[in-house]
Amino acid sequence: MKIVLVQPPNLQRTGKWEEQKTYRPPLGLATLAAYIEKYGYSVSIIDLDIEGLVNPKDAADRIMSSEPNVIGFTCLTPRYPTVINIARECKKISDVTTVVGGPHISGLPKYILKDKSIDYGIIGEGEGAFLDLIGCIRYDNRPIYNIDNLIFRFRDNIIINEARPYIDDIDIIPHPNWSLLDLNYYREPGTFKKNYLGIMSSRGCPFNCIYCSSKITWGRKVRLHSPKYVVDELEMGVSIYGINEFLFYDDTFTINKQRVMDICNEIKSRGLNIRFTANARVDTIDYDTARILKNAGCFMISLGIESGDSDILKVIKKGITKKQSVAACESLKKADLAYYTCYMLGHPGDTHESIKATVDFANILDPDQAKFMISTPYPGTELYDMAVKKGLLPEDGASDLGEHTYFQHVVCNMTDGVTDEELLKFQQDAYDNYDNIKRPLT
């Protein structure tokens, strides 16, 4: 039985992003591949993004050349129309089984199978459900009705099974199988010196920001890989794949200070010469943590600031204060650890004044780099529910989900008197400013 896991192409890559040839390694697919390989399945990964196959028929021809029994697509919201178009073309070639998972499916489970080109959907944490599903397909089409986390059709009705418990001890999940990909393609020139790997040392986020869909996939309970597991994976990157630069995908890598110290000490004790970057909240960073991270090879921390207006921070339930943001940045500067800050423009209730306050606050925090995004309601978030309630989006998603992107586009406007054109100008002006002053991280 052949399983092909597919990363769909990113059709939103434009401008400088396209020029830089930025491609992120598909960590979720590499992890899922390793998980099902453990049970004896033959797996391959096709990254249509790095192969540049944007035409659905060309993409389907590439996928079906492997003669798969099952195709598993991962799907972010902007890529859902692309996945559907590719799946349709695959179905024209043979009656292959198609499965789709990822954040978009968890956010809109009722609507995922409206298109008959998709046979099954998987919500939330996907390893167990996908393994059970392919087991049923492999062994004489055993019933799939009791597979938790599965979406399927029954007599023209779409059935969403119960959620399964999250994997409590995530150390049982094997390290990603990166040998299934050509790792030379995964580069981010504005951040890394050469090709790099992704790593996720935890699952889950306890916070409740209205714009974030993390909790619908991973839940709100944080489950941590052991320091040994984490550093084993880093060491495998160096010794097996010849890569010493890493991006931690954790929502908040610094959620547990003692664990950060243990990971960093393990990196040092093994003599690993690596460089890595990670995400942090401003209320989880102090000078000691920053110093320890830098000594272990961390060269940059990403901070989600989101707004420079205290009232807007409350609206989006960020749970931080501007004072904490200033303190975190001061600690990072003191430790000589580079940082970049992320902001969103166009929050519910944002005004011309609050957006200007955000841009001004970015200058006060003086990051090495800054990112300014347009607030975008993704399925499964409170922000999405707000947009639906206001009649700005239909319940099953925008008319063109491919436009669900926060660069150069306004999906729906929930500001107080700021036009779409003004939002885009705020974004462009902010980028023009920081493109001129940002300091290179490499």
**Number of domains within the chain:** 2
Q: Are 153 and 224 in the same domain?
A: no
Is position 333 within any domain? yes
Is position 169 within any domain? no
Say what the pLDDT of residue 17 is. 47
Burial of 175 (0-12, 13-18, 19+ CB in 10 A): middle
pLDDT in tens, 176-217: 999 999 999 999 988 999 999 999 999 999 999 999 999 999
CATH number of the domain bearing residue 367: 3.20.20.70
Percent helix / strand / coil, the chain, rounded to 5 = 40, 15, 40
The CA distance from 272 to 232, in Å, is: 11
Q: Are 12 and 126 in the same domain?
A: yes
The token pair at 129 is 């459900």
The token pair at 39 is 């049970």
The residue out of 104, 125, 160 marking a domain boundary is 160
Q: Are 93 and 194 in the same domain?
A: no
Q: How far is CA 277 from CA 175, 248, 301, 328, 337, in A?
A: 19, 6, 6, 16, 10
Amino acid at 307: S
Q: Which residues contact 23 (CB under 8 A, 6 or more apart)?
A: 47, 49, 50, 185, 186, 187, 188
The CA distance from 3 to 37, in Å, is: 10
Q: Are 223 and 290 in the same domain?
A: yes
Is position 56 within any domain? yes
pLDDT in tens, 286-340: 999 999 999 999 999 999 999 999 999 999 999 999 999 999 999 999 999 999 9
Is position 181 within any domain? no
The CA distance from 64 to 53, in Å, is: 13
The CA distance from 264 to 217, in Å, is: 28
Q: Are 280 and 345 in the same domain?
A: yes
End-to-end CA distance of the chain: 44
The residue out of 160, 195, 221 marking a domain boundary is 160
Q: Are 94 and 235 in the same domain?
A: no
Q: Are 203 and 116 in the same domain?
A: no
Nearest Cα to 171, choosing from 105, 215, 229, 116? 229
Q: Which residues of 301-333 are buried (b: 16+ CB within 10 A; e: fewer)?
A: bbbbbbbbbeebbebbebebebebbebbbbbbb
Nearest Cα to 365, choosing from 310, 440, 307, 435? 307
Q: Are 416 and 298 in the same domain?
A: yes
The residue out of 160, 179, 207 marking a domain boundary is 160
Q: Which residues contact 24 (CB under 8 A, 6 or more apart)?
A: 186, 188, 198, 247
Contact 369, 439 (CB under 8 A): yes
CATH number of the domain bearing residue 121: 3.40.50.280
Is position 171 within any domain? no
Burial of 369 (0-12, 13-18, 19+ CB in 10 A): buried
Rg, the chain, Cα only? 22
Q: Are 126 and 198 in the same domain?
A: no
Is position 180 within any domain? no
Q: Are 140 and 196 in the same domain?
A: no
The CA distance from 440 to 442, in Å, is: 6
Q: What is the DSSP string of 68-114?
A: -SEEEEE--GGGHHHHHHHHHHHHHH---EEEEESHHHHH-TTTGGG
Is position 167 within any domain? no
Q: Are 201 and 107 in the same domain?
A: no
Q: What is the DSSP string of 300-366?
A: EEEEEEE-S-HHHHHHTT----HHHHHHHHHHHHHTT-EEEEEEEE--TT--HHHHHHHHHHHHHH-
Angle value at C-alpha 20, between 102 and 339, nearest 5 degrees: 75
Amino acid at 33: A
Nearest Cα to 439, choosing from 192, 194, 190? 190
Q: Are 156 and 196 in the same domain?
A: no
Q: Which residues contact 429 (CB under 8 A, 6 or more apart)?
A: 359
Contact 440, 113 (CB under 8 A): no
Q: Which residues contact 389 (CB under 8 A, 6 or more apart)?
A: none
Is position 354 within any domain? yes
Ranges in the chain, pLDDT < 70: 12-21, 140-141, 398-400, 402, 435-442
Domain boundaries, position 22: 2-160
Q: How far is CA 422 from CA 207, 374, 419, in A?
A: 31, 11, 5
Say what the pLDDT of residue 397 is. 74
